[in-house]
Structure 1
């Protein structure tokens, strides 16, 4: 079978293993569509998306429409006459006019075991919600939000201590494998679309920074899952004397006290009371400072037992 003429649509690092897989297979990637360059870092330097960087390394034309549903953007993609459009973490909803362009459809790699966790941030919310398994699903796209027919699923366990960064890296690789298998089945004429059961779905909304605010009244495992799911971004946080304090890694403990109260802050650890237990904070980052292990942090910033974390939140705008 002749290589497929593929337009690839994706933006962040998560999409790069799948794009690289297409190059490695010898598929004919005729164009890449990605988000516009964005200001990044302290200097707000205009920075290209990782997918654009990879595409340019392979000499592939790159389109960066502000709105992919704009008529001129749809017309530009149509001019490439793709057989298939591969989509992974693109960042915009595709209109029907675009979905209808390729004769073999638009196939998406979604970072969950559909129909669970439709939406923008499945990877994060599955950790926050304490799931023990997740995976990726390739899907024939339709106009709904992650509602298209499922093609290939690959599942992996979630380690009880891993954070969103670790799971992100594993699912990015798994997504490439799932897409490769999907393309093999497509080439062999053995791809069997499966309808999703809408009754089994739940929604994984886009994350807002304030979602990371820690409620110390929750149980230790619930707070631990929040920390894991929101590390490295946007971060689970509390306050220490009116400064934001990001909590990066924790383990559960069995101490007791008023929620948010520091039970100990010494060489044996930094322990904070929660609802029905406690947490040992192993890594943390004070506003304007570096992320540090707890012992190094306490060497520079003294926290007395009895200090209440989060007490300054009422003063923050």
Structure 2
């Protein structure tokens, strides 16, 4: 097929690569404009932008698709279908209807659960047992379109980073399957029951709230790994926690945020957790033992 690809972050790259590997003609890639990033705040293209250029695919980075000129340029590509994976811009009706077969989206949840911006993180935070990918026929509503194919996977203690890679690969496989025989995958309307919305992650959510039950704290640590990174503050320094395990200490009643032992077990509102991987600002990731050798935190310390 003649395809326009639309995506921005690392999640989208395997989908683009799978389309190319399957022999489809990707005539253009749309991505968010380059932005400043990293310590030097240099202007950098998005992962999709960089990957598409390496493949020799023309890249377009409009700030909006709402004006007539951008919509005309999109329609002029004469695509059979647009494949969308975490693009980040709203597609107006003129764009949705321009390709012969419309626009197909790789959405990382089991729709209608977790429509919206952060479905992977929200599924972890909510304690969902499983998540997955839906290949959705896009329409004007927020992730309301009918679904052509679904894949599932258990969450099973995975971090958002691990799930993102897994669901990206799954989405790539499912999209190639649908495009291989779109008639064999009719669009089925989403059920009306079970709708939830995955609001964008606010960086303030990443500050660990030790008054929460330990199970919730541990979920937050997984949901915010790798970004924005769950953290606590001590001695004016921000310490990121990238992995933790639940501990058998009763926790509650010992003072929320209290360090309970020499292994950095920390009391929560109900139960306790033990960080496994930590990171100080400007440093590499360390095990808790490595961290404590350079930054002792004695039992009885109360963390913010």
* TM-score of the aligned structures, taking structure 1 as reference length: 0.92
* Matching residue of 1:180: 176
Q: Give the distance between the partners of 1:49 and 1:254, measured in 2 at CA.
A: 43
1:197-212 paired onto structure 2 within 5 Å = 197-212=191-206
Structure 1 unaligned segments of length 5 or more: list them: 311-317
* Matching residue of 1:167: 163
**SS of residue in 1 equivalent to 2:121:** helix
* Matching residue of 2:210: 216
* Matching residue of 1:21: 18
Q: Give the distance between the partners of 2:31 and 2:192, measured in 1 at CA.
A: 30
* Matching residue of 1:313: none
1:91-110 paired onto structure 2 within 5 Å = 91-110=88-107
Question: In the alignment, is residue 247 of structure 1 matched against residue 244 of structure 2?
Answer: no
Structure 2 unaligned segments of length 5 or more: list them: none
Tell me by how many angstroms 1:71 deviates: 2.3
CA RMSD across the alignment: 1.2
Q: Give the distance between the partners of 1:180 and 1:289, measured in 2 at CA.
A: 40
Question: In the alignment, is residue 59 of structure 1 matched against residue 56 of structure 2?
Answer: yes
Deviations 1:218-259 (A, max 9, x none): 111111000000111011122112322211111011223111
Question: In the alignment, is residue 138 of structure 1 matched against residue 132 of structure 2?
Answer: no
Tell me by how many angstroms 1:61 deviates: 1.1
**SS of residue in 2 equivalent to 1:262:** coil
Q: Give the distance between the partners of 2:35 and 2:185, measured in 1 at CA.
A: 38
* Matching residue of 1:45: 42
Deviations 1:144-194 (A, max 9, x none): 00000111000011122x2111111111100001101111231xx222111
Tell me, yes or no, if the aligned pair for 1:133 and 1:156 is still in contact at 8 Å: yes
* Matching residue of 1:157: 154
* Matching residue of 2:65: 68
Question: In the alignment, is residue 260 of structure 1 matched against residue 260 of structure 2?
Answer: no
* Matching residue of 2:225: 231
Deviations 1:282-309 (A, max 9, x none): 1112334332111111111121211101
Tell me, yes or no, if the aligned pair for 1:270 and 1:282 is still in contact at 8 Å: no
* TM-score of the aligned structures, taking structure 2 as reference length: 0.96
Question: In the alignment, is residue 192 of structure 1 matched against residue 186 of structure 2?
Answer: yes
* Matching residue of 2:294: 300
